């Protein structure tokens, strides 16, 4: 599997944090906050895979372009960046040695912590 950083998604996430479009939740909340399969499908139907991909820090270039399987490491719910998703992405990317994605998630984590402390 050749998973690499989705630079477009990283830039999108940073912009959302700068706009204060964030949910400063706890680490374990992602299982409750992540979009359901139905919500993902509806988002794709309304906006297409190009927009869908902007919500995932990783791209698996061995997967076909217009498939969900191509996108890894979600960081939000199609509206806001979720701290719990960023923490999960940071941890999992490190586990699988996707260091570019881990570093991007760590950067977002730092940005979110600054928002949280202000």
Block residue for tokens 């977002």: 108
Report the alpha-carbon distance of residue 21 to residue 109 in Å, rounded. 14
pLDDT of residue 60 exceeding 80, the answer is yes
Instruction: Tell me the average pLDDT across 51-62.
Output: 97
What span, in angstroms and rounded, lies between the C-alpha atoms of 103 and 93?
9
Rounded-to-integer distance, Cα 110 and Cα 68, Å:
28
The tens digit of pLDDT for each residue in 73-104 reads: 999 999 999 999 999 999 999 999 999 999 99
For residue range 6-51, what is the model confidence (pLDDT) as tens digits?
Answer: 999 999 999 999 999 999 998 899 999 999 999 999 999 999 999 9
Please name the residue that has the structure tokens 């700068």.
18
**pLDDT for residue 27:** 85
Unique residue bearing structure tokens 């680490």: 27
Sorted by sequence, the CB contacts under 8 Å of residue 98 that are 6+ apart come out as 3, 4, 5, 58, 73
pLDDT, residue 23, reads 97
pTM over 0.85: yes
| pLDDT beyond 90 at 1 | no
């Amino acid at each position: 599997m050749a998973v690499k950083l989705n630079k477009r998604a990283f830039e999108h996430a940073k912009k959302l944090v700068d706009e204060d479009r964030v949910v400063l939740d706890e680490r374990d909340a992602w299982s409750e906050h992540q979009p359901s399969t139905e919500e993902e499908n509806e988002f794709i139907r309304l906006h297409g895979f190009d927009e869908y991909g902007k919500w995932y820090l990783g791209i698996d270039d061995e997967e076909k372009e217009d498939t969900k399987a191509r996108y890894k490491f979600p960081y939000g719910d199609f509206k806001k960046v979720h701290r719990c998703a960023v923490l999960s992405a940071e941890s999992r990317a490190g586990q699988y040695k996707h260091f570019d994605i881990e570093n991007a998630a760590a950067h977002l984590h730092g940005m979110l912590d600054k928002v949280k402390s202000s």
